[in-house]
């Protein structure tokens, strides 16, 4: 599964909860988290592992943060090979967390079985901010943090995305993207 979304959408929190649910069901889970590299120093924080504290201690999970090192598209130059290595190593679920959302941060969509766009419910003009490119590639749009005071905004953005996705060309004759 490939996951992308804007900063603060809860990608790492979602991955930790979903990953723990999968390992409790006896799956072996690999997380390939991609972090942006500094254009000045070339360094990267690689902080995703520290945000997934429970999953990082799980013996049936493997978390590998990697810097983009200047690669565009939200993944690294070697993400596809890393996915194959994880599968070869016996991980039956591989989650790839991209750098974050942008108009062209969907290279992972061609590397995975399902591409998920994770969105917060109250981030402003979501459809204008995300743009067409990444929406067209999404197999699933998940509105995260849809509880408490955010239930109503979450329902509104869900309706906006359902309407918007009807206007897009279908990538598959079989699967219709869900929101």
Taking a C-beta distance cutoff of 8 angstroms, is the pair 2, 112 a contact?
Answer: yes
Mean pLDDT for all residues in the chain:
82
What's the CATH number of domain 2-167, 3.40.50.1820, 3.20.20.450, 3.40.50.300, 3.90.226.10?
Answer: 3.40.50.300
pLDDT of 117-137, one tens digit each? 999 887 655 555 455 677 888
Look up tokens 């979501």; give the residue: 126
Q: What is the pLDDT of residues 17-60, one digit of tens each?
A: 999 999 999 999 999 988 765 555 554 455 555 678 899 999 99
Q: What is the pLDDT of residue 150?
A: 93
Q: Are 99 and 130 in contact (CB under 8 A)?
A: no
Instruction: State the Cα–Cα distance between residues 28 and 40, nearest whole angstrom.
Output: 37
End-to-end C-alpha distance for the chain, whole angstroms: 16
The per-residue pLDDT for range 134-150, each reduced to its tens digit, is: 788 889 999 998 899 99
Give the long-range contacts of residues 52-58, CB within 8 A, separation 24 or more.
52/12, 52/15, 52/16, 52/19, 53/16, 54/16, 54/20, 55/15, 55/16, 55/19, 55/20, 55/23, 55/29, 55/31, 58/19, 58/20, 58/23, 58/29
For residue 77, the tally of other CB atoms under 10 A from its CB is: 12
- Measured between alpha carbons, how far is residue 91 from residues 27, 33, 57, 157 in Å? 8, 15, 16, 34
- In this prediction the pTM is 0.84
Residue spans of the domains in the chain: they are 2-167
């Amino acid at each position: 599964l490939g996951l992308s979304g804007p900063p603060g959408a809860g990608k790492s929190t979602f991955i930790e909860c979903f990953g723990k649910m999968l390992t409790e069901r006896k799956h072996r889970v690999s997380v390939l988290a991609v972090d942006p590299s500094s254009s000045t120093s070339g360094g990267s924080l690689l902080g995703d592992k520290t945000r997934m504290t429970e999953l990082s201690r799980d013996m049936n999970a493997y978390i590998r943060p990697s810097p983009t090192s200047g690669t565009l598209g939200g993944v690294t130059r070697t993400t596809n090979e890393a996915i194959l290595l994880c599968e070869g190593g016996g991980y039956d679920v591989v989650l790839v967390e991209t750098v974050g959302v942008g108009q062209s941060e969907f290279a992972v969509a061609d590397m995975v079985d399902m591409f998920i766009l994770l969105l917060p419910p109250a981030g402003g003009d979501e459809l204008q901010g995300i743009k067409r490119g990444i929406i067209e590639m999404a197999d699933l749009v998940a509105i995260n943090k849809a509880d408490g005071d955010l239930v109503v905004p979450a329902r509104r953005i869900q309706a906006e995305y359902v309407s918007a996705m009807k206007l897009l060309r279908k990538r598959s004759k079989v699967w219709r993207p869900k929101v």
